[in-house]
Chains A and B, each alone.
Chain A
Amino acid sequence: MLSASQEVWLNRTLGLYRAALVVLPAHLRDRYGDQLVSTFRDVSTHSIQRHGWPGAVSVWGRMFLELFLAAPRERLSNWQFFQTGRQRSHRQDSHSNIGDFMTTFAHNVRLALRQLRRNPVFALAAIGTLALSIGANTAIFTVLHSVILQRLSYDQPDEIAAVWLEFRRPGSTRGREIVASEPEYLEFRNQTTSFASVAAYWVGETNLGGIEEPARVGSAGVSANFLETLRVTPTLGRSFIAGDDIPGAEPVALLTHGLWVRSFGADSGIVGSTVLVNGVSSTVVGILPQTFRFPGHDVQLIRPNIIDTQNPEGRASHYLSILGRLQPGVTLATARAETEVLMNAWRSEFPEQHGPSAETHPLVMTSLHERLVGDVRPALNLLSGAVGLVLLIACANVAGLMLARAETRHREMAIRTAIGAGRSRLVSQMLTESVVIALLGGALGLGLAQLGVNAIVTAGPADLPRQDNLSMNFVVLAFTALISLITGIAFGIAPAIAAARSSVAHAFKESSTGSTTGRRRLTFRRTLIVSEIAIALVLAIGAALLIKSLAQLRRTDPGFDPTGVVTMEFSLNSALYPETTDVARFHRNLNERLAAIPGVTASGAVRRLPLTGSPGFETLSLVGRPSVEDGPSWNAQYQVASAGFFDALSVPIKAGRKFNERDGESSPPVAITNERMAQLFWPDEDAIGQQVQVGNFPDNANPVMTIVGVVGDVRQASLVEDVNPQLFVPRQQAGAIYGGFVTRVSTLAVRADTDPSATILSVRNAIGELDPNLPLANIQTMQHVLSRSMSDERFTSTVMGLFSGLALILGAVGIYGLMAYSVAQQTREIGVRMALGADGRSVRQAVVKHGLILSMTGIGIGLLVALGLSRFMSGLVFNLGVRDPFVFGSIPLLLFVTSLLAAYLPARKAAAVDLRTYRQEKRRPSIR
């Protein structure tokens, strides 16, 4: 049995297939149409049941492709039956036209190929233009399809919802995201009825030991029902079961297929044996399927997240992401309404955490798919729109070329009309030519698209979701075939009709500008020029906005100096470093060794490196300031830093002091804030000397920390995001806040004036001397971190820049071609004017003026369209108005100059016309 949504999609596809049967000969369709559809349904159902959507999409692609491949064969064989007289007589009369069609078609294709061979320059220009633009479209569609359109690879993915909390400014629709705490997750799970199952997870990195080469791998801690919620079953061994995630449970782990192959040589004996996960011996209970991808993260090892349901952690400790599978038939809207009720209950019960209103602190729910790809959607939509515009310009260009060629073929057309070719025959011949050109362009474009996709994979955004999914498949192939076909018809139809209008009389009259047909063509050419300019302007403005935005981003001060800094992450083994003092001793020894490396000027450690995401927020209470009901809650990013961290990254100390070695476990608790926190929390007072506590609840026993310093603002999550309040706590004191929790995870930052690769080597050696089995992860320079944080913006603006550059060049060439052609057409008129006494200058002026009127019209229309579309860019530009006056002023000017040049060159030629050329033109029409 298929689910309701599968039925819907199957029926839609069946409808498409039934419509596509039109390509088959009528008698085959009439006799077997219903059976073909019925078999299509059987094959699809079987495939969906066995392989899910990927299987269905694959067989659909093959069945459609097979239909299109079989159609000409069936038509041809039908026709051969007539020719050999083997066909039964009763069916003969109704189908003789099909044989005709096939001969005409084959003849037209041969003719088209011959025409292209005869005009290699035209062929090259037209096919090249189309290949570039169809290739660009295919590449972007490949990304769009793989990242956004293709459904997630879980069973019934539309039923899976992602849930999180947000803090929003009043009036805004997006805010700072916060994941859930244990009590929130448990209450959500137990008190909602919309979900068949609710799971929670967190993602981090883990030391995997007990194997030949210890490694640091992406890992996730999940509730026992996590895989069940996604409906994923291990290919080997078992899934987690209830009881795996309660205190005292035996440590177990599941490996992804990739990790299993890479680190265990795909040995199935690993199931049941133990590995060291962060130093804890854990039993591998299963291997996940090869197709499994952890939602949104590169996770290779999964283990249960232990929650004591009787005694969960505090409400302020947010670390769990929530996923839920909706009950069959329940919509997201229904589930949202239910969570509203829950949230209202929370708000009245815990006003400190969930206040003051639903507007500023909502519980947000979307489909998992939307959650994973929502962030890239605007950029991809923009690029898809842009690349479509490039194709339009290419169509206009090739249409111009075809039109020009059609004019030179008046005689050929006229002669063919005279010997009996009907108008429809001429149109079909011209259309076949344009479709052949487009298909050749499309085929070449596929190759270019593959190069483009490769480039996107290597140089694209660092965190493009579902990147491993990126490939050209049947759907992409069908897309390319379809747009090639549409393109061929789009740019071919007008010139084809124009050519067919040529009558015998017309061809011999040869003067076109005065006739109705001539005027019509003139209007068509002008429309082409105006649209090319308008579209090129829209694209160039879009690209300029993005490029300027990227430039702004590059100028943004990250709050630290990345030069000469190398960083790496590690997590100390809890068996070897059980106490905070052990961890402290390791860091002290490490610091001594690092200081001894020649060239090293500073080193320090931090929990979460700047520009790599938020370290998590904590709710604080300010000593001496009673919490106001309905007032704001005091939230700050909670960072753990060592004494040397600020020096290592050159973060300036604005007031007070840095941490030092004396801020130990037994000394009075201290903290450092960033400037933003100092201004926001104590606007009229000195932040130094103020006291804060983590957590905001009665009988708060957490240590009271005294602010001893204020440091400059550092961009934590990304360059784009506003700076948030940040609280730094010294490493040795951090554990006390969580009841003796020992912080073993660190990111080391080392500043040196030596070559980064040499620094990395020495630092690795120093760590290796202290702990040879300690795996290191994310070894990189701070410059790289900074550059990576701009990769999204860089990608969008580079691609957009490429597209608009392509559009400008195509546009300029197109305008030049059409203007030159116009001038060539007006040779007679110009000749007459010059014979009547007009000088070269006035002719030149007239031609340029004509061009300028067209370009001003195009620029005007383009500006209006760009202004209208600019709001779609609001989420994509940084620190810049979407109607930036500089961009909206300079780009039209650039286009104006370009079109001036494109009009001036033909004008110069026009002025050089004399009566002799005119006579030559009359004898032998030629095309430039």
Chain B
Amino acid sequence: MPDASRLVPLKPNWFHILLTLSDEPHHGYSIMREVEHRTDGKLKLWPATLYGTIRKLEDEDLIERVEYEPDDGSDDERRQYYALTRFGKRVLRTEVERLEQLVRLARAKTALSK
């Protein structure tokens, strides 16, 4: 198994796409909407950037194409679904741990503690 720490810290686009795929598989447009929704519109992944990033994530074995039928029956055969690979999950977990540690460090400073 490749070394997960090689890829952290993750770029924001990578992080948000991996986070979106952590619950269930999504297709491109639904990743786009989910990210936009979660970041209150601050991060909008337009198509060319989205698929450029997806390409890199696939090349790094972080995500993979899957056959998937959503529960609500809104499947459309044009759509390609993506899911996290095991390695992807590991990288995401490593990144989250890194972020947690960062936050802990920051909180330890009185000025930022709650």
Measured CB to CB, the residues of A under 8 A from B are 24, 28, 31-32, 34-36, 38-40, 42-43, 62-63, 66-67, 69-71, 73-74, 77, 87-88
Residue pair A38, B78 in contact (C-beta under 8 Å):
yes
Of A31, A36, A77, the residue contacting B48 (CB under 8 A) is: A36
A66 touches B46 (CB 8 A): yes
The interface centre, meaning the residue of A42, A63, A73 with most chain B CB atoms within 10 A of its CB, is: A42
**Could you tell me if B79 and A36 are in contact, using CB atoms closer than 8 angstroms?**
no
Residues in B whose Cβ lies below 8 Å from that of A43: 29, 32, 47
Which of A66, A71, A73, A88 contacts B47, CB < 8 Å? Answer: A66
Q: A36-B51, A39-B47, A87-B59 are in contact. List 10 more A-B contacts (CB 8 A).
A: A28-B51, A28-B52, A31-B55, A38-B28, A66-B48, A70-B46, A70-B49, A71-B48, A73-B52, A77-B56
Are B32 and A39 interface neighbours, CB within 8 A? yes
Contact with A along B87-104 (1 / 0, CB 8 A): 000000000000000000
- Count chain A CB atoms within 10 A of each CB in B47, B51, B56 and give the residue with the most: B47
Q: Smallest CB–CB gap between A249 and chain B, Å?
A: 45
Are A24 and B29 also in contact (CB < 8 A) when A34-B78, A38-B79 are? no
Measuring CB to CB, which residues of chain B are less than 8 angstroms from any residue of chain A?
27-29, 32, 46-52, 54-56, 59, 78-80
Q: Are the CB atoms of A35 and B51 closer together than 8 Å?
A: yes
| B residues less than 8 Å from A28 (CB atoms) | 51-52, 55
**Chain B residues with CB below 8 A from A74, complex form:** 48, 52
- Cα distance A34–B32 when bound, in Å? 16
Q: Contact partner of A63 among B47, B54, B55, B79, CB < 8 A?
A: B47
Q: Are A32 and B32 in contact (CB under 8 A)?
A: no
Q: Which residues of B contact A87 (CB under 8 A)?
A: 59
B46 and A62 form a contact (CB under 8 A): yes
B28 near A70 (CB under 8 angstroms)? no
Min CB distance B81 to A, Å, is 11
> Which chain B positions have C-beta within 8 A of A88?
59
- Which residues of the other chain, B, contact A35 by a CB distance below 8 angstroms? 27-28, 51, 79-80
Contact residues of B: prevailing secondary structure: helix
Question: Max chain A CB contacts within 10 Å: which of B46, B59, B79, B80?
Answer: B46
Contact A70 B48 (CB under 8 A): yes
Q: Quick one: given A34-B78, A88-B59, are A39 and B52 in contact (CB under 8 Å)? A: no
Nearest chain B residue, comparing its CB with the CB of A65 = B46
Complex: A62 Cα to B46 Cα, angstroms: 8
A24 — which chain B residues lie within 8 A by C-beta?
48
Q: Cβ of B29 and Cβ of A70 under 8 Å apart?
A: no
Can you name 11 A-B residue pairings with CB atoms under 8 Å?
A31-B55, A32-B51, A36-B47, A36-B48, A38-B28, A42-B29, A63-B47, A70-B46, A70-B49, A74-B52, A77-B56
State A69–B49 Cα separation when bound (angstroms): 9
- B55, A39: Cβ atoms under 8 Å? no
By a CB distance below 8 angstroms, the chain B residues around A39 are 28-29, 32, 47, 50-51
A31 to B56 CA separation, bound complex (whole angstroms): 12
User: Cα distance A42–B79 when bound, in Å?
Assistant: 10
Rounded to whole angstroms, the CA-CA distance of A36 and B55 in the bound complex is 12
Q: Which residues of B contact A66 (CB under 8 A)?
A: 46-49
Contacts of B59 in A (CB 8 A): 87-88
Residue of A nearest to B58 (CB): A31
A192 to B53, CA, bound (A): 57
A42 cross-chain contacts in B, Cβ below 8 A: 29
A38/B54 contact (C-beta < 8 A), A63-B46, A74-B48 known: no
Complex: A36 Cα to B79 Cα, angstroms: 10
The answer, among B32, B48, B56, B78, for a CB contact under 8 Å with A67, is: B48
Distance in angstroms between the alpha carbons of A726 and B59 in the assembled complex: 82
Cβ distance A828 to chain B, nearest Cβ, rounded Å: 55
CB-nearest residue of chain A to B33: A46
Task: Specify which of B47, B48, B79, B80 lies most central, judged by the most chain A CB atoms within 10 Å of its CB.
Answer: B48
CB distance from B11 to the nearest CB of A (A): 12
With a cutoff of 8 Å between Cβ atoms, the chain A residues found around residue B47 in the complex are 36, 39-40, 43, 63, 66-67
- Nearest CB to that of B46 among chain A residues? A66
Known: A38-B28, A43-B29, A43-B32. A32 touches B55 (CB 8 A): yes
Q: Could you tell me the distance between the alpha carbons of A192 and B104 in the complex, rounded to whole angstroms? A: 75
Most buried by B among A32, A63, A67: A32
Considering only CB atoms, which chain A residue lies closest to B78 in the complex?
A38
- Nearest-CB residue, chain B, relative to A62: B46
**What residues of B have a CB within 8 angstroms of the CB of A71 in the complex?**
48
Residue pair A38, B51 in contact (C-beta under 8 Å):
no
- Enumerate chain A residues within 8 angstroms of B28, measured Cβ to Cβ: 35-36, 38-39
